Amino acid sequence: METIGRSLKMPSSYSTYLPTALQNDPIIDGFLQAFETILSGSTPDNKPSIITQQSHPPGLEAVTSIIYQYFDPDQTPEDFLPWLASWVGLSLWDEWDVKVKRSFIRQIVPLYQKRGTKEGLSGMLKLYLNSPKEEVNIYEFDQPAHYFQVQLTLGNQNLQEYRRKERIARAIIDQEKPAHTFYSFQILMPTMQIFKSADTAKAKGSVMLKLGGEESYGNRTILGNRSARDISQEKESTSTNSNSTTTQ
């Protein structure tokens, strides 16, 4: 009813193609308005744009005028990404972030030319991580033959994200590495950070290790994990040096 109301106020532009005697017929104009809405859109605000579930479908002419946007990974709707990825032979993981999916589709073709190389594998992993704070390092060795190491450095301590990235990174490596090679995989993540103030630590969501005001730590203090063997060897070395000094 709303469309019919608009058509009565704004005659169809298609009526100009009719004989003069029929151009002012309201019934014919109503039929033409319906076709014009489908084919080209009849309202002034019917501008070409990507169709979403919330938007009113534009005319067919408006759709064809912007169809190139559906082929652009940065502009196409999220639902179109798997379809667009199939054009470049790419399978997207459902759990990937939308930004990662768009980056893969946009950059995957040049990486296909480097498939099976260190540079190609590193590029694929960097595309997946999609963060300047996270690093990818690949080390190659002469012995044993055909062996390499992959090291990822993550930027946070989120264990769920750690497991997810480990699983997906392994899948990428297994798919992209040459068949005759084998590898080891290591992920590094921050275990402790030192901040200037408690407010900064809280803002970053870090768990604080609170030290009292009376403790003092020398320049040889080690914060971290030390095995009992290391401590025992250090004590033995100190004792030997002390006995040697006494003998002299």
List C-alpha distances in Å: 84 to 64, 67, 88.
17, 13, 7
180 pLDDT band, cuts 50/70/90, is: very high
pLDDT over threshold 60, residue 231: no
Beta-carbon contacts of 18 under 8 Å, excluding residues fewer than 6 positions away, are: 28
Max mean pLDDT among 89-98, 180-189, 213-222 falls in: 180-189
Which tokens sit at 241? 């040096």
Give 137's contacts (C-beta < 8 A, 6+ positions apart). 150, 151, 152, 153
Digit-coded pLDDT (tens) for 122-152 = 999 998 888 888 899 999 999 999 999 999 9
CA 156 → CA 36, 133, 162, 167, 209, distances in Å?
A: 56, 9, 9, 17, 17
Contact between 82 and 92 under an 8 Å Cβ cutoff? The reply is yes
Give me the helix-helix angle, 26-39 and 2-9, nearest 10°: 110
Sketch the domain layout of the chain as residue ranges.
1-65, 128-211
Q: Residue 223 carries which side chain, given as an amino acid letter?
A: L
184 strand-pairing partners: 149
| 108-120: average pLDDT | 91
